[in-house]
Amino acid sequence: MGSVARLRNPDLWEAVATAIIRQVIRAGQARKLHREFCRRFGDVIALSGETDLHTFPSAQRVITLSDDDFTISGMSFKRKPLRHAATAFLTHGRSWMDLSPSVLAKELQTVSGIGPWSAGAAVADWSNDWALYPYADLAVRTWARHANPHHHWANDEPTFGRQWRRVTGDNLATYTLLTLAYGTQQAGAV
């Protein structure tokens, strides 16, 4: 695969919101919704003939969006959890940034609509601590099978999680990140 670099998301709010958008939908669909939401409601970073770049809308902006705004951007299903997260971020965001990643993952789960998967994914994205990523999720299971098809990987999440911990040992974060990077590379090639 060559060299792999993964830049952490410096914006905790965007990491949380992106994890919410990614809940229960395919990665490709989540990317499409994320881009559309940014295009409609984010600030413009750069405009060009080929690509317009927009930031993710701020927490303040998200709480001002109407129900129709969420609907026209395909995000009506994500409206409530994004609003809850935006409200919580505006109240606690500064103090959250001072927490250790493991404590932050627990704290995020007190917000309605943020469960263990979303909290772990958001904190891994923001902190670059990939040991906190929900490493038994479908993406890791899928790409571990592709990366090493000769290994007998468990199909169910709990068994795979135990197996992944055993196989990766002290390198859980590294192997999880590399497997996700491998998947991103493979998905981009399709």
Residue 147 lies in a domain: yes
Are 122 and 155 members of one domain?
Answer: no
pTM for this one? 0.89
Residues 123 and 154 in one domain: no
DSSP conformation letters of 57-70: PPHHHHHH--HHHH
Q: Is residue 148 part of a domain?
A: yes
The token pair that represents 126 in the structure block: 């923001």
108 and 143: one domain?
Answer: no
Classify residue 1: in a domain, yes or no: no
CA distance 141 to 154: 8
Q: Single out the residue of 29, 25, 9, 22 nearest to residue 130, CA to CA.
A: 9
Closest listed residue to residue 137, CA positions, set 120, 118, 157, 167: 157
Does residue 74 lie in a domain region?
A: yes
Which distant-in-sequence residues (6+ apart) come within 8 Å of 86 by Cβ? 13, 17, 59, 60, 62, 63
Mean pLDDT of 54-76: 96
pLDDT value at residue 187: 65
In a domain, residue 7? The reply is: no
Q: Is residue 5 part of a domain?
A: no
Domain membership of residue 69 as a residue range: 12-127
Task: Report if residue 132 sits inside a domain.
Answer: no
- When pLDDT is cut at 50, 70 and 90, the band that residue 190 belongs to is very low
Residue 155 per-residue DSSP state: S
User: Do 69 and 114 belong together in one domain?
Assistant: yes
Residues 163 and 106 in one domain: no
Tens of pLDDT, residue by residue over 87-126, are: 999 999 999 999 999 999 999 999 999 999 999 999 999 9
Q: What's the pLDDT at 188?
A: 56
Which of 100, 127, 154 is at the close of a domain? 127
Q: pLDDT band for 189, please (50, 70, 90 cuts).
A: very low
Tell me the sheet residues that pair with 44.
54
CA–CA dist 166, 160 (Å, integer): 10
In a domain, 133, yes or no: no
**Percentage of the chain with pLDDT > 90?**
78
Residues 112, 142 within the same domain: no
84 touches 59 (CB < 8 A)? no
Structural domains in the chain (count) = 2
Per the CB < 8 A criterion, the answer to whether 128 and 6 are in contact is yes
Q: Are residues 17 and 111 in the same domain?
A: yes
105 with 119: CB under 8 angstroms?
A: yes
